Amino acid sequence: MTPALTRTALAFGALEQQLRRHPLREAVLFRMRLEAARQCAAVDGYLIDPWQLAASLEGLRPRIRGQDVFERGGEVDALRYAFEQYQWLARATTSQEERITQALTVAVAPVSHMGILWGSALAFREWIEVGDARAPFRGALVRLWQKEGVFSGLYPVTGAAAFRGGTSWEERRWIPTWLDALEREAAGIRDMVHTLERAWRDARAQAGNQRRNSKAALAIDIIAAHPVISATTLAARLSVSVQAACVLLERFLDRGLVIDVTHRAARRLFALKDLAPLREAVRMPKKPVPGRKRGRPRLGEEADPDDQSVAVAEEAFRPLPRWQPDFSELEAAISNVERLNHKMSLPEEHSEPDMGCNDHTLAL
């Protein structure tokens, strides 16, 4: 167990040294939380695209890719579960904070006696042994790392891979497995930081050839430091007008340095081009038909020929013609019945009188 403990401690120290006062720290923290929520959901049986979760967090509508209603429903359920895991790690609700406080209380004694890493592992096992869920203790670990001085921020390093199927739950085997999972997560975050730094340097180099007083390079720095950013926020950070910020963003778009992740004409959000998967995960907004007001078109107004959905809907739900009853056959049948009844009554009306019953005739 000692080698695993040493490697994890060294990985944590290297990660803290790399991220302390890093200019891209907020962007890295955003990516870290997305990846941590994805790993926690995957271990619990829910596979998601982290960029769909990112779109939901930024107020955008994610694109659901299921083939039918059952697949889409399953994808929505997985996305909802991943969002709950994100809340435990980053934006806990009031009820979640209460559960996290309980988990921190459980970890006090083991951490004080065995140290932060070993004590956290023992406390985590104790928490699971009594039948509690994993999510509250994961949120407690994020706060415990910062409280004990392991990290200077709320870094979501939880060792989720130690709960994969087939992992031994025996204490002497599980604790090294959990420590190795922590080490791999820290190493993955360091690789992520290198990738973001490379994209940042490339964008900054391609934004050159500006005037001496140009703020293009500073704008790239600000865009890189944020997961996504709007023109208004960029203008406030640069202390320029919104129009000037829009000019810079349009220039960066033309050069391929940034992307518009919203597909919209207004209230747009921008990011460096390495966030292209986020753009693909955002649902395309419905474009309004030129000249048409909101709601269904009035009667007599012709629909736009390009609006295929309206044409298909009208073809599928066209009302049936009004039913007009035809009583001609019934009337003919009634006439035939009346004619037969009339013929059958004629012999009774024209029969000879009964002579035996006519007393007046006999008297004459």
Dig out the tokens for 47 from the structure.
């596979």
Instruction: Report the length, in residues, of the chain.
Output: 364
Q: Provide the domain limits for residue 148.
A: 2-191
Q: Mark which of 244, 265, 281 sits at the end of a domain.
A: 281
Q: Same domain for 79 and 125?
A: yes
The answer to the question of residue 89 being in a domain is: yes
> Model pTM?
0.73
The answer to the question of residue 152 being in a domain is: yes
Q: Same domain for 54 and 141?
A: yes
Q: Residue 315 and residue 307: Cα distance in Å, rounded?
A: 13
- The structure tokens 């994020």 sit at 142
Q: Same domain for 173 and 213?
A: no
Q: Same domain for 178 and 31?
A: yes
Residues of the chain with pLDDT below 50 are: 303-317, 349-364
Q: Same domain for 79 and 215?
A: no
Q: Taking Cα atoms as reference points, which of 124, 135, 151, 158 lies closest to residue 87?
A: 135
Q: Same domain for 126 and 215?
A: no
Q: Mark which of 255, 281, 307 sits at the end of a domain.
A: 281
Q: Same domain for 240 and 117?
A: no
Alpha helices in 148-238 (DSSP H): 171-206, 216-225, 231-238
How high is the pLDDT of residue 299?
Answer: 61
Residue 158 CA neighbour count, 13 Å, CB half: 32
For 141-145, the CB contacts below 8 A with 24+ separation are: 142/89, 142/90, 143/100, 143/104, 144/104, 144/107, 144/111, 144/116, 144/120, 145/12, 145/116
Q: Same domain for 22 and 127?
A: yes
Q: Residue 229 and residue 248: Cα distance in Å, rounded?
A: 13
For 343-350, the CB contacts below 8 A with 24+ separation are: none
How high is the pLDDT of residue 357?
Answer: 45
Total domains, the chain = 2
Q: Mark which of 247, 281, 315 sits at the end of a domain.
A: 281
How high is the pLDDT of residue 162?
Answer: 94
The answer to the question of residue 182 being in a domain is: yes
